[in-house]
Amino acid sequence: MKNILWKKSPMAIFYSFSYFLYGFISFSFGVWIFFHGVFITLFSILVLLIDFFLDHNWNKNFKLNTIFRLVLWTLFVMAFSYQEVYQTALTLDLLIYFFQHISLLYSDLFNFLLEWKLIQWMALGIGFYLIVWNPEKEQKRHWFLLSFGLLLLVFLRSGSWMNPDLSWNQNQKAPNNVQRVKSNLESISGKPNLVLVLLEGVPRKHLVKIKSRYINFSNLEGSHFWIPMPHTSKSLFTWMTGISQLNHTRLQLDGSVMESNLPKQLERTHNYHTSMIYTQSIFFEGMDQFFPKIFQTVWEKGDLEKRYGGLYPSFSWGMDDRVVLPALKQTSDFSKQPLFVLIGLSQTHSPYFVSNEKSRVSFRSPLDRYMVSLEEEVEVLDSIISYWKENSSRETVLILSADHGESFGEEGAHAHNYSLYNQETDVPFLLYFIKSGQLYIPKLGTSVDFKDTILSLLETHSNQKEEILKSNFFSPDYSPNLVLKTWNSEIQKSWITEGKKYIYHSDRDLLIETDFMEEKRVPITNSLLKKKVLDEIYSNIR
């Protein structure tokens, strides 16, 4: 019976085998369920039924049926490879988003294929062989085996295909000369311009390897600054409001957050003019209902493309970030009114855009391409600093951080969203006074406390509210207390408190205690301690 089934429908067996085995290597039923959601399951069933029908009607139009079957198998492998590469469950919303932006996204197909592992190419090739193989024409089998063997040798030739995370070390730049840095700051006088630059997907550990003309990023070593959720829209919302909204995957807006956010308070209390320049689109996950209503001026990807699209290229998630400079010149009004500008960059979002393609980084590993992209981001940052230094007579405070970090295989994670280890949640943070050259880096901090910290530093009066002072991470008495959660999943949850970081792997029911560096990792077996930590975590999520 098995031999008959194999001869009649070998591809149906391979489809089923591929579907059920995917994710099994993690030995986690929770992870398996997450990556086998309703959409991907219905898609798999539909593809299997269509392939089965075409397979049993091959005599009617063998060549056309074969082409359709090859396309179906390619789509099937690409769907699961998308989840593997970007650690994101494929949903109908993502598919709709793809077709709405297909004119931009199609250009990233090559970069997506570059991130495939050997096993994904092997699966694609085996499926092709099973589809093309005709038991009545054995000669075709030999030609296909030869072609597949040559293809396999091509991909095996480059070690970076199998080890994409270990190769970026040849072009690292030495850090700057010694730069004086302070960790305590009591106030910021004189109503300076505030320029918040948020890098896209940059953890502290990667930025310290890059050289800037103005800032010695090696000073970030030893500091820790966490964001509560490694996802862009939720992170930007937290920076502006101090609210993490861990129990929601989309922005939840009400009258309170629309009035008490940082731009509104700077505008009303300190007479700041507020603007946002964002090289990504805000028409995603409700951001368009939030940012245009809290900033007086907003320029996002669509606006920048209309004005500067002929000069700076776009890609799936954003634009060449050099477009920020001409946009700044259009939006900056150096009058008596101080300015608060949020600049959101995008080149370091996967699959990592590099404007200088002569470097041929598109043919290297994802980490190589990412680091070159980050170098270009720092060049943009230096240009932003130069612009404010040359054009504003008022002191300008550059605030540099990131919306979240990025994984390159650590703990089995890639890109971002589904890991709470430091590579995705510990971001750089510093204040650089552009005219005086003073550099301030807090020893510890969180984006949840950012809004209160900035308002506290601007409030020079002694009658500040005690709760705001406690959340000022430039105070020597500051102690972080932060609950973290992965976006749109229950895979991991975390709690940072009193010199410890707890990470709970929900899919394995495993609680780990680490230090802030995550070097010492101890599984928690004490049931009382485990209950205490989980109670604290869930009390902040529900």
- Contact (CB, 8 A) for 198 and 208: no
pLDDT in tens, 37-65: 888 899 999 998 988 888 777 556 778 88
Is residue 179 situated within a structural domain?
no
- Averaging pLDDT over each range in 114-123, 170-179, 469-478, which range is the top one? 469-478
Is residue 166 situated within a structural domain?
no
Of residues 101 and 449, the one with the higher pLDDT is 449
Q: Residue 456 sits in a domain of what CATH number? A: 3.40.720.10
- Same domain flag for 467 and 509: no
Q: Give the list of residues 6+ apart from residue 250 with CB closer than 8 angstroms, or none.
A: 233, 285, 286
pLDDT at 59: 58
Is residue 116 situated within a structural domain?
yes
CA–CA gap between residue 180 and residue 222 (Å, rounded): 15
Q: Which long-range contacts (CB under 8 A, 24 or more apart) does 501-504 make?
A: 502/533, 502/537, 503/420, 503/421, 504/533, 504/534, 504/537
pLDDT at 142: 41
Of residues 518 and 363, the one with the higher pLDDT is 518
Min mean pLDDT across 163-172, 178-187, 224-233, 489-498 is at 163-172
- Same domain flag for 65 and 197: no
Beta bridge partners of 483: 495
Is residue 206 situated within a structural domain?
yes
- Contact (CB, 8 A) for 185 and 458: no
pLDDT at 141: 52
Is residue 172 situated within a structural domain?
no
pLDDT at 400: 98
Q: What pLDDT band is residue 10 in, cutting at 50, 70 and 90? A: confident
pLDDT in tens, 396-455: 999 999 999 999 888 888 888 889 999 999 999 999 999 999 999 999 999 999 999 999
Is residue 174 situated within a structural domain?
no
First-to-final CA distance of the chain: 52
- Average pLDDT for the chain: 83
pLDDT at 85: 65
- Among the three residues 478, 510, 526, which one is the final residue of a domain in this structure? 478
Q: What pLDDT band is residue 102 in, cutting at 50, 70 and 90? A: low
If one counts the domains in the chain, the total is 3
Q: Which of 200, 375, 378 is nearest to 279 (CA)?
A: 200
SS3 117: coil
Whether pLDDT at 217 is above 50: yes
- Same domain flag for 195 and 153: no
Q: Which residue has the tokens 């099994």?
A: 24
pLDDT at 431: 98
Q: Where are the alpha helices (DSSP H) in 9-91?
A: 10-21, 29-34, 38-55, 62-86
- Same domain flag for 203 and 98: no
Domain region containing 518: 502-541
- Same domain flag for 316 and 445: yes
| Chain length of the chain | 542
Q: What pLDDT band is residue 340 in, cutting at 50, 70 and 90? A: very high
Token digits of residue 113: 């294929």
Sign of CA dihedral 75, 77, 80, 84: negative
Instruction: Please report the DSSP string for 247-304 in residue order.
Output: T-SS----HHHHHHSHHHHHHHHH--EEEEEESS-S-STTGGGTHHHHSSEEE-HHHH
Whether pLDDT at 379 is above 80: yes
pLDDT at 508: 87
Is residue 211 situated within a structural domain?
yes
- Contact (CB, 8 A) for 411 and 422: no
Whether pLDDT at 463 is above 70: no
Give CA 52 to chain center in angstroms: 38
Whether pLDDT at 462 is above 60: no
- Same domain flag for 469 and 508: no
- Among the three residues 136, 157, 178, which one is the final residue of a domain in this structure? 157
- Among the three residues 105, 134, 157, which one is the final residue of a domain in this structure? 157
pLDDT in tens, 111-168: 677 667 777 888 888 888 778 775 544 545 544 544 554 454 444 433 333 333 334 4
Q: What pLDDT band is residue 19 in, cutting at 50, 70 and 90? A: confident
Neighbours of 402 (CB within 10 A): 27
CA–CA gap between residue 301 and residue 332 (Å, rounded): 18
Q: Give the list of residues 6+ apart from residue 129 with CB closer than 8 angstroms, or none.
A: 141, 144, 145, 148
Q: Which of 167, 199, 177, 197 is nearest to 374 (CA)?
A: 199
- Same domain flag for 354 and 233: yes
The three state secondary structure string of 439-480 is: EECCCEEEHHHHHHHHHHHHCCCCCCCHHHHHCCCCCCCCCC
Is residue 106 situated within a structural domain?
yes
- Same domain flag for 203 and 106: no
Q: Give the list of residues 6+ apart from residue 373 with CB closer than 8 angstroms, or none.
A: 347, 348, 352, 353, 354, 361
- Same domain flag for 443 and 532: no
Of residues 26 and 32, the one with the higher pLDDT is 32
CA–CA gap between residue 479 and residue 497 (Å, rounded): 7
pLDDT at 8: 56
- Same domain flag for 252 and 382: yes
- Same domain flag for 357 and 258: yes
Report percent pLDDT > 70 for the chain. 79
Q: What pLDDT band is residue 170 in, cutting at 50, 70 and 90? A: very low
CA–CA gap between residue 286 and residue 519 (Å, rounded): 38
- Same domain flag for 151 and 298: no
